[in-house]
Amino acid sequence: MGQISAIALRRPKGLAARAVLFACVLLIVTAVLSAATVMFGAQRESARHQLHVTQGLAIHLGTVAGDLLAAGDMHSLGVMAEQTASRSEVERLAVYDSSGAVIVQSGGTEAETNATAAVAARILETREVAYERAAGGLAIGAPIVREGQLVGVGVIMWDGMAYRFAALPALAPFLLILACLVIAAIPITSHFVRRAVAPLDTLAEFAERIAENGEAAPIELRTGDEFETLATAFNKMIGRLDASMRQIQEIAYVDPVTRLPNHDRFVREVDHAIMQQREAGAGAVAVFELQRLPRLLQTLDPDSSRDFLRVVAERLVASTRTVDRVVRLRSQQQQAALPARLGAAEFAVFVPDLASQGEAARFAQHLNAALNQTFEWRGHKLTLGACCGVALAPRDGRDAETVIRHARMAMGAAQNSPARVKVFTQSLDREAVARVTLEREMRGALERNEFRAYFQPKINVATGRVEGCEALARWIRPDRTIVSPGRFIPVAEESGLIGALSDAIMREACWKAAAWSRSGYPAKVAVNVSALQFRSDRFADQVLRVVQHAGLAPSQLELEITESVVMEDPDRALRIINPLKEAGIRLAIDDFGCGHSSLAALSKLPFDVIKIDQQFIRALEQGDEQAAAIVDMILALSRTLNMEVVAEGIERREDMEFVASRGCHWVQGFLFGAAMPAAEFAEVLRRQAGEEIDSEDAA
Ligand code: C2E
Ligand code: MG
Ligand code: MG
């Protein structure tokens, strides 16, 4: 990480270098240009000066020559020409008369002679001073005028360099100073450029920090220029981005109702804790299901639901805060426990740093007890039926999802345990795997029609005859082994397969009962109804359709619904059973006595039969007087409500005699026969009919 940032920050500082180079080049070019301009100006000035001086000399020559010509002193003219021409700067000297003929001349090459002649010719024409630059130098001439008459021309050819101004030596100090200035200006420029560019560096570093880890402290630039504007804009932009990020995080990771962390956030935190403390053991995840909460929320309007959920969340948070008073944590600098809402009625708490499994169980019990305490809310007293599963990290999973899944598995097992709290064990996992396998096998078995109805005889106490039966599901595997419903019914209910399974049993039971009636051995058939079937709105229609298809008299069918399912919602039960009742189907409350029936509800529900739960018969066997009293009470109640009573699970003659003596109408149990295949049961009916005929014959 450190290496990455070092690489990222080692960026080329090219801008400052380029700015310095540019400034220096500009400086040098300016210096050179100004030196060149000065030199050029000096050169031009020098040429003008040369012309001016030589012009003056030429005019002077013309005047002197004119005087000598007027005096006719040709000798002096010749001497003057000789002397003048002998000077080093004079290349040639010539005096012409008014016709252009040479009067006196001295020195010069042919080219110089031609040049002076050309100048003389021009002056004779224009009568003005003229000059011409030739290879040898500058030929300049002046008219010789006497009394207004042009009498001749004097031309002198000067060396090109004569009277020239020596510009370079003159400008040398100036150029030297310029060079020194340039040399001194380079570091100064570099310094100022770097200073000017420094805020840009700060901005660039700031941008890099943001790109690298997404956060940076606000940037401070007080330059009073565009850099400051840019820095302020950056700060504002980052501020807005931060706010947006916080908002996004909130939407993504916080439950909007309770403000608790949601499932995703919880998973992240637990994963993080597991990563941090892999070796030491990270902590415990407790998942809570509030079983009565969904139904309760259904009865509330949305605002009240949210309000109540917040009350529940507050209690969870408050008891989570006191968790360190209940359990021992491994380290002193403990991290806070994290409560979260995982689903509609599912909460969770993660305690990092728990010392042991025992501590985890205690902590879960503490929280579960808090959630199970009655909520006094808006004048109502509400209990939520919380149960809790605990899993330890990393013992029960190396990632959060696995730990949570195992905690949920433990929670499933806790639903049936008296303490309502369970710590995950490997055997739970094995059970879960076995359940999944069983579920898969059941799907195949349903397709292959391996679920069959077996029939247990029911004896009418008044006649002592088999006049009915209860259809009980059996799974007959291809190897002829028989699986009892105790194993597959719970899995079928959990997986939703119970619907298809119960339909199959219902169909078989109805068809078989109709066939027995047609053969002249009528028997009532009782079919068990699962909780899931009973909750379906289409249940009554489906039953009526099966009865009609089978051609069974509705009064021959009895539906057994367990007490707990009926009492869950008596109004709804009434709505569902009414059409069945109207069609003539009989209705029985199964396993009566172990649920929480309300007498008021019971009196309103049009049930025909009560089946006393087997546990009371078992208790009778053990001489339990209370059980006898309860059986008595149920029988008295049924008389009042005009219902028939079935005692099931009768294994001993004494029990049969006891219930019969108290007015029980029907008995069922191993004493009279276990559940048997349809053919066998038909045989029982047939044999019973045969015996009757025999006894009638004997009479
Ligand atoms: P249940 O409806 O109360 O059925 C009575 C259970 O008691 C049956 O167990 C029966 O075999 C057993 N039993 C009968 N007589 C005696 C006895 O004398 N002594 C003892 N110890 N047991 C006796 P089974 O067949 O194992 O069924 C268990 C439960 O599974 C049933 O209880 C019923 O709730 C459910 N079940 C069975 N078949 C179906 C079905 O087709 N659909 C649904 N939804 N549930 C079914
Ligand atoms: Mg039953
Ligand atoms: Mg029963």
Q: Please confirm whether the linkage preceding 394 is cis (ω < 30° from 0).
A: yes
Specify whether the CB–CB gap between 558 and 519 falls below 8 A.
Answer: no
Res. 223 pLDDT band, cuts 50 70 90: confident
CB-based contacts of 176-183 (< 8 A; 24+ apart in sequence):
178/31, 178/34, 178/35, 179/31, 181/31, 182/27, 182/28, 182/31
393-410: burial string, b at 16+ Cβ within 10 Å, e else: bbebbeebeebbbbbbbb
Query: In this structure, are strands 586-592 and 557-562 parallel, antiparallel, or unpaired?
Result: parallel
Proximal ligand: closest to the CA of 505: 1
CA distance 303 to 307: 6
C-alpha dihedral sign at 297, 300, 304, 308: negative
Encode pLDDT of 483-526 as tens digits: 999 989 989 988 889 989 999 999 999 999 999 999 999 999 99
Measured from the alpha carbon of residue 591, the closest ligand is 3
User: What is the tens place of the pLDDT at every residue in 71-113?
Assistant: 888 888 888 888 888 888 888 888 898 888 888 888 778 888 8
Burial class (CB within 10 angstroms; exposed 0-12, middle 13-18, buried 19+) of 617: buried
pLDDT for the residue 435: 86
CA 507 / ligand 1 centre spacing (Å): 18
Q: What percent of the chain has pLDDT over 90?
A: 45
Q: Residue with the nearest Cα to atom 25 of ligand 1?
A: 472
CA 120 from chain centre, in angstroms, equals 103
Q: What is the Rg, in whole angstroms, of the alpha carbon atoms belonging to the chain?
A: 61
Considering only residues 374 and 234, tell me which one the structure prediction assigns the higher pLDDT.
Answer: 374
Going by alpha carbons, the residue nearest to atom 42 of ligand 1 is: 528
Alpha helices in 161-292, H assignment, sequence order:
167-213, 226-253, 263-276
Ligand located closest to 452 CA:
1
Angle at 573 between CA 569 and CA 577, to 5 degrees: 180
pLDDT of residue 668: 97
Of residues 656 and 181, more confidence is placed in: 656
The tokens of 548 are what? 């009609």
Contact 631, 612 (CB under 8 A): yes
SS3 (DSSP) at 465: strand
pLDDT tens digits, 629-688:
999 999 999 999 999 999 999 999 999 999 999 999 999 999 999 999 999 999 999 999
Residue with the smallest CA separation from ligand 1 atom 27 is: 485
Q: Which residues line ligand 1 (CB under 6 A)?
A: 456, 472-473, 484-486, 489, 502, 505, 528-530, 560, 590-591, 648-651, 669-670, 675
Give 6's pLDDT tier (boundaries 50, 70, 90): very low
Cα(487) to centroid(ligand 1), Å: 11
Give the nearest ligand 1 atom to 675 CA: 11
Query: Is 593:613 a contact under the CB 8 Å cutoff?
Result: yes
Quick: pLDDT tens for 452-478. Answer: 999 999 999 999 999 999 999 999 999
CA distances from 422 to 288, 414, 415 (A): 11, 5, 9
CA 611 to centroid of ligand 2, rounded, Å: 8
Closest ligand 1 atom, CA of 498?
Answer: 44
Pocket test for ligand 1, best of 483, 528, 561 (most atoms within 8 A of CB): 528
Residue nearest to ligand 1 atom 41, measured at CA? 473
How many Å lie between the centroid of ligand 3 and the Cα of residue 458?
A: 13
Nearest CA to ligand 1 atom 12: 649
Compute the average pLDDT of residues 175-202: 81
Cβ distance 460 to 665 under 8 Å? yes
502 CA → ligand 2 middle, Å? 12
For residue 648, the CA-to-ligand 1 centroid distance in Å is 9
Nearest atom in ligand 1 to 648's CA: 15
Q: What is the pLDDT of residue 334?
A: 58
Ligand number with the minimum distance to the CA of 675: 1
Atom of ligand 1 at shortest distance to CA of 562?
34
* Average of per-residue pLDDT values in the chain: 87
pLDDT, tens only, 606-635: 999 999 999 999 998 888 888 899 999 999
Which of ligand 1's atoms lies nearest the C-alpha of 611?
Answer: 3
Query: Following DSSP, what letter does each residue of 67-123 receive, concatenated?
Result: HHHHHT-HHHHHHHHHHHHHSTTEEEEEEEETTS-EEEEE---HHHHHHHHHHHHHH
**Which ligand neighbours the alpha carbon of 651 most closely?**
1
The residue nearest atom 8 of ligand 1, judged by CA position, is 472
Q: What is the mean pLDDT of residues 290-306?
A: 93
Name the closest-CA residue to atom 44, ligand 1.
Answer: 530
Q: How far does residue 505's CA lie from ligand 3's centre (Å)?
A: 16
Q: Max alpha carbon distance in the chain (Å)?
A: 207
Among the listed residues 388, 399, 396, 400, the one whose alpha carbon sits nearest the alpha carbon of residue 364: 388
pLDDT confidence tier of residue 359, bands split at 50, 70 and 90: confident
| Structure confidence at residue 304 (pLDDT) | 95
Instruction: Please tell me the residue having the least CA distance from ligand 1 atom 17.
Output: 649
Helix (H) or strand (E) holding 513: helix 498-518
CA of 490 relative to ligand 1 center, distance in Å: 13
The ligand whose atoms approach the alpha carbon of 455 most closely is 1
Q: Do the beta carbons of residue 185 and residue 27 sit within 8 Å? A: yes
3-class state of residue 392 by DSSP: strand
Expressed in angstroms and rounded, the spacing between residue 594 Cα and the centre of ligand 2 is 14
Q: How far is the CA of 560 from the centre of ligand 2 (A)?
A: 6
pLDDT at 186 over 80: no
d(CA 677, CA 457): 11
**CA–centroid distance, residue 226 to ligand 3 (Å):** 87
Cα 681 to ligand 2 centroid, rounded to whole Å? 17
* Residue 105 one-letter amino acid: Q
What are the CA-CA distances from residue 17 to residues 14, 217, 241, 395, 469 (Å)?
Answer: 5, 28, 34, 60, 102
Please, which residues have CB less than 5 A from ligand 2, an ion?
528, 560, 590
Residue nearest to atom 33 of ligand 1 (CA): 528
* Contact (CB, 8 A) for 221 and 202: yes
- Tens of pLDDT, residue by residue over 525-575, are 999 998 888 888 899 999 999 999 999 999 999 999 998 888 888 888 999
From 472, 525, 561, 565, give the residue whose CB has the most ligand 1 atoms within 8 Å, as the site to mutate: 472
Nearest to 398 by CA among 277, 511, 577, 545: 277
CA 649 to chain centre: 58
For residue range 227-277, list pLDDT tens digits in order.
888 888 888 888 888 888 888 877 889 999 999 999 999 999 999 988 887
Find the 387 Cα to ligand 2 centroid distance in Å: 28
* Distance (Å) from CA 470 to ligand 1 centroid: 9
Helix (H) or strand (E) holding 548: helix 539-550
Cross-sheet strand order for the sheet of 338-343: 338-343, 346-352, 283-290, 386-393, 421-423
> Residue with the nearest Cα to atom 24 of ligand 1?
485
Q: Which ligand is nearest to the CA of 529?
A: 1
- Whose CA is closest to atom 21 on ligand 1? 649
Residue 560 CA: which ligand 1 atom is closest?
A: 2
Q: What is the dihedral of CA 176, 180, 185, 191, to 10 degrees?
A: 170
Determine the distance separating the centroid of ligand 3 and the alpha carbon of 563, expressed in angstroms: 10
Distance CA 591, CA 614 (A): 7
Residue with the nearest Cα to atom 22 of ligand 1?
A: 649
C-alpha closest to that of 346 among 426, 255, 251, 416: 255
d(CA 567, CA 297): 19
Closest ligand to 486 CA?
A: 1
Residue 9: what pLDDT?
45
Please give the domain boundaries of the chain with CATH numbers for all domains.
19-167 (3.30.450.20), 263-424 (3.30.70.270), 450-698 (3.20.20.450)
Q: What is the pLDDT of residue 694?
A: 64
Q: How far apart are CA 566 and CA 59, in angstroms?
A: 146
- Evaluate if residue 355 carries a pLDDT over 70: no
Nearest-5° angle of CA 76, CA 99, CA 90?
45
pLDDT (tens digit, 9 = 90+) per residue, 316-338? 999 988 776 776 665 555 568 89
